[in-house]
Structure 1
Amino acid sequence: MAKIDYNKAIINFEKQATTRTNFSYDPLSNKSYDVSKIEESKKLYDAYGNGKDPLYVIGVTNNTTEEFNNYTKKAYLDLQNAKKTPLLGQWVSPVSGKRFKDVSYVDGDISEDEAIRLKTLFNQESALKVYSNGEWELI
């Protein structure tokens, strides 16, 4: 699996962030996804989904500092070492109103129960469940 250097990923993320507020960025493909826009949610699913099962976006950091830092760098590198594609994201939680700059990954090969377990393991407020039609929900 190809890897993108963390510092380069942050630079490219920041370029995307000049025109976006809530989004996830894939450094490997250099694409961004704002799931609040149905067409982008579908593109996220098309990029990572299997065509039938829901896709889960699992956050691994709980970073409310609004800056990427050593903690997010470690999470990014850990995901790469686990052969997962890390995503960089920023958003405001619709649940708590908190602002996040986080690292997450996409997994289409797990059940909802497993996504909830991982959400809890990583101390996340919620995980994102994306359907093939682009609809989504927080779980």
Structure 2
Amino acid sequence: MRTIEISNEIFGKIWSASVEGDKSENDILARMFAEREFLAEVEAEPEHVETKTIQVKSHERTITIPRIGKITWIDDVALALDHIGGKGHLAEIYKSVRAIRSRGGRSLPPSTEAVIRKTLEENSSDSDAYKGGMDLFALPEGKGRGMWALRYAN
């Protein structure tokens, strides 16, 4: 390890960029540099529509996520919900999305939680923020409870 001298102001800025899981200045800076490098790359994948079949409580259900090009927040949020059983509280979803994006080498900006909420809300007809189009997510316990679920096709 090397030692560097920085001002208190810069030290504070480093820690203001911390997210859950950061334990040191090195963790924060390594994550920030990785995000910056990732954003500079172009992630190319073949165009396709992914159909995912999910086993839930012994009933097979299907969710279809149209995807053109790179993996999106919608893909990661849907996959995170799938990983936690198709339904979960925002805190569980945040944790699962972070793990998926970290493993995939995708960005985790300081606003990650806000991006996840926006993705859920804009893609759920249960939400006032619904933009039309894909209706992938549901509020199984109603608004304001923090519980979200995948909306499965029949």
Q: State if a TM-score over 0.5 links the two structures.
A: no
Higher strand share: 1
Higher helix share: 2
